[in-house]
Structure 1
Amino acid sequence: MSGVIVTNPPKASAKDVAQLSAYGTATVSEALGRTGSFGLGLRPVQQDVRIAGTAVTVLCWPGDNLMIHAAVEQCGEGDILVVTTTSPCTDGLFGELFATALEHRGVRGVVIDAGIRDTSELRQLGFPGWSAAVSPQGSVKATAGSVNVPVVIGGQIIRPGDAIVADDDGVVVVPREHTAEAVVACEAREAKEAAARYAFQEGQLGLDRYGLRETLVRLGVTYQTYEEYSANGQHHA
């Protein structure tokens, strides 16, 4: 396997990324039409942390973190390291020493579709991570891969410079060309949710606010008292 290290790829607007950092992954994904989520495969190694940044992508061979070492040089202020492997891998390819080097360069966190280790040290360092596994298993540095090329995680294509948002719920990617419209959509969704939150605090039901009673009727859902339900032979407890 040969590889390539791409330097200075285009990046999402730093202003847009900063604005996206105010929104959770659920809001961003919903605002984008329920797209962009990396799915259930990646979980945070910490809690109550949200980051947003621009992707530096890494494609490694399983059990080999050579290209992460190469990627550190390509990372800068506001980036998020996004790592995957050519086939499934749970080895601990990323740990405290990488985090120390990346923190020095202003990197905001790591998203790795493989194993992560030194999780206690990462939390103490304040360097956020999302991974497919936690494992003490080490790695070699022997096989070529690539840096700053398109990669796929959880069915999502991530290109270098795309915006990444990550929090307790997971990870979402926003294509670098669409961050401005994503910010506008997030603002609109947040305003809509704020209005709904106030309504619910005042006692309104979602059935009424969203017109769902009509949906229940259309789907043939009926209301029955307990006695009616029992009389129809549908209650066996």
Structure 2
Amino acid sequence: MSDKVVVTDIARADRATADALAEFGSATVHEAMGRIGYAGPRIRPIQQGVTISGTAVTASVAPGDNLMVHAAIEQAGDGDIIVVVPVTDSPYGFIGELMATQMQVRGVRGYVTSGGVRDTTELRSMKFPAWAAHISAEGTVKDTAGSVNLPVVLDGVVVNPGDVVVADDDGVAIVPRERVAETLEASRARAAKESANRVKYEAGEISMDLNNLRPVLEQLGVTYVSQAQRDGR
């Protein structure tokens, strides 16, 4: 099958489960899955204090060409997050205020890309969140075919249409559609453990003891010496 295709009837992760993952954020979700799914430090938010989750509508685009982003907007709806991956690194502003307006009206929760965005002041003002590898005033053309709703690779992480995207100030995590329920359960368990530990830390305990790290240091050959011993006195 040609990669020049728009898939119109993708299966999406369960809406309520996808929505619930926003409570935990990208770091907890990444850890709960076994330290996988994080798209890396290059994909950064243009705003602060925003956490979203939703189902992925994916687009593969040519460098400097946003034709297939327009096609992705047509396929996206309430609860979705559009994920756009140029086939090579492309620091262009693939979307701006007008395209974000279309997405927002359709109920799209945000935009994630390994390319670029522009009109960032306007995007923040209209409260449309975006995560991108680049911010660039340089616009794009609309000349080259690509795909919508086929798998894409977002800075090393495979994103299938219908997977869950969790994005916040720490970055972006991708949860495979078939793992969403187990990831939500694991995220809840991890958050509960961290909450219990926080109480202990606030009471004066430290992680060296709580996590039983002293035997680890000993096994690695780390010793404790006084400054006088270190100085040979």
TM-score scaled by length of structure 1 = 0.96
Matched ranges for 1:159-178 at <5 A: 159-178=160-179
1:203 counterpart = 2:204: yes
Secondary structure of the structure 2 residue equivalent to 1:114? strand
Post-superposition offset of 1:148: 0.4
Residue in 2 aligned with 1:140? 141
Deviation for aligned residue 1:69 = 0.8
Q: Secondary structure of the residue that 2:89 maps to in structure 1?
A: coil
Q: Aligned equivalents of 2:194 and 2:133: distance in 1?
A: 31
> What residue is the counterpart of 1:186 in the other structure?
187
Cα deviation code 1:104-148 (max 9, x no counterpart): 000000001101000000000000000000000011000001000
Aligned to 2:114: 113
CA-atom RMSD, angstroms?
1.0
Aligned to 2:224: 223
Equivalent position SS for 1:113: strand
Residue 153 of structure 1: aligned partner: 154
SS of 1:29's equivalent in the other structure is: helix
Query: Which residue of structure 2 lines up, in the alignment, with residue 74 of structure 1?
Result: 75
Structure 1, unpaired ranges of 5+: 233-237
Q: What one-letter code is carried by the residue in structure 2 that aligns with 1:60?
A: V
**C-alpha separation in 1, matches of 2:16 and 2:25:** 17
1:145-203 CA distances to partner (integer Å, 9 max, x unpaired)?
Answer: 10000000121100000000000000000001111101100010001101111110011
Q: How many residue pairs end up in the alignment?
A: 232
Deviation at 1:41, TM superposition (A): 1.2
Deviation of 1:220 (Å): 1.0
Question: 1:23 is matched with which residue?
Answer: 24
Counterpart secondary structure, 1:76: coil
Equivalent residue, structure 2, for 1:129: 130
* Pairing of 1:46-57 with structure 2 (within 5 A): 46-57=47-58
CA distance in structure 2 between the aligned counterparts of 1:72 and 1:7, rounded to whole angstroms = 11
Runs (4+) off by over 6 Å: none
Cα offset, 1:211, TM superposition: 0.7
Residue 19 (structure 1) shift: 1.1
Question: Offset of 1:24 from its aligned partner?
Answer: 1.2
- The residue identity in structure 1 corresponding to 2:55 is T
The match for 2:90 is: 89
Determine helix, strand or coil for the equivalent of 2:173.
strand
- The equivalent of 1:235 in structure 2 is none
Over the matched positions of the two proteins, sequence identity in percent amounts to 49
Is 1:12 paired with 2:27? no
The separation in 2 between residues aligned to 1:166 and 1:121, in whole angstroms, is 20
SS in 1 for 2:23: coil
**Distance in 1 of aligned mates of 2:3 and 2:224:** 65
Cα distance in 1 for partners of 2:129, 2:209 equals 41
Q: Which SS does the other structure have where 1:73 is aligned? A: helix
Unmatched 5+ stretches in structure 2: none
AA matched with 2:104: E
How far did residue 2 of structure 1 move? 5.9
Name the CA distance, whole Å, in 2 between partners of 1:2 and 1:35. Answer: 27
Say which SS state the counterpart of residue 21 (structure 1) adopts.
helix
1:92 is matched by which residue type in structure 2? Answer: G
